[in-house]
């Protein structure tokens, strides 16, 4: 049985969402990214154990990663969008890349992968679960120290 791939219009919408979110990560713009995520989102990943709540995710995951890395992008060509026609839940599976920095400032490739679960809430699609993790063998720590654009 084939997986329920999203129709082309819905896929385009989610690809646009990924591009927009990635731009906020690159800009370290927490305020702009905040409305894209459900207030009760559940997240976990390489850096963080299971955390519930958007503000907790921002405080315990985003703030510890976004300012310390650069060049975040999803690999849109490898992204899968799964959604049944007429459904109110979608799953996006996307590899991503970024640049990490060692303590001496030397950059290194920092690739990973994401699974994002979206729910349509009447006011639009919002992330209700996120699992973002680094590829095996990639150093977890990065030391860019970039400024936050907005909280």
13 Cβ contact list (under 8 Å, min separation 6): 125
What is the C-alpha to C-alpha distance for residues 65 and 140, in angstroms, rounded to an integer? Answer: 9
pLDDT in tens, 82-120: 998 778 999 999 999 999 999 999 999 999 999 999 999
pLDDT in tens, 124-149: 999 999 999 999 999 999 999 999 99
Is CATH 3.40.50.1110 correct for 8-134? no
pTM for the structure as a whole: 0.95
Q: Show me where the domains of the chain are located.
A: 8-134
């Amino acid at each position: 049985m084939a997986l329920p791939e999203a129709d082309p219009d819905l896929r385009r919408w989610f690809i646009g969402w990924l591009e927009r979110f990635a731009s906020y990560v690159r800009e370290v713009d927490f305020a702009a990214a905040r409305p894209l995520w459900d207030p009760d989102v559940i997240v976990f990943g390489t850096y963080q154990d299971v955390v519930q709540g958007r503000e907790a995710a921002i405080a315990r995951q985003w703030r510890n990663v976004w300012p310390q890395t650069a060049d975040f992008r999803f690999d849109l060509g490898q992204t899968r969008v799964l959604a049944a026609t007429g459904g109110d839940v979608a799953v996006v599976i996307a590899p991503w890349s970024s640049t990490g920095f060692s303590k001496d400032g030397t950059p290194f490739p920092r690739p990973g992968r994401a699974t994002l679960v979206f729910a349509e809430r009447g006011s639009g699609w919002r992330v209700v679960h996120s699992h973002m993790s680094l590829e095996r063998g990639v150093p977890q720590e990065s030391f860019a120290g970039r400024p936050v654009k907005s909280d």
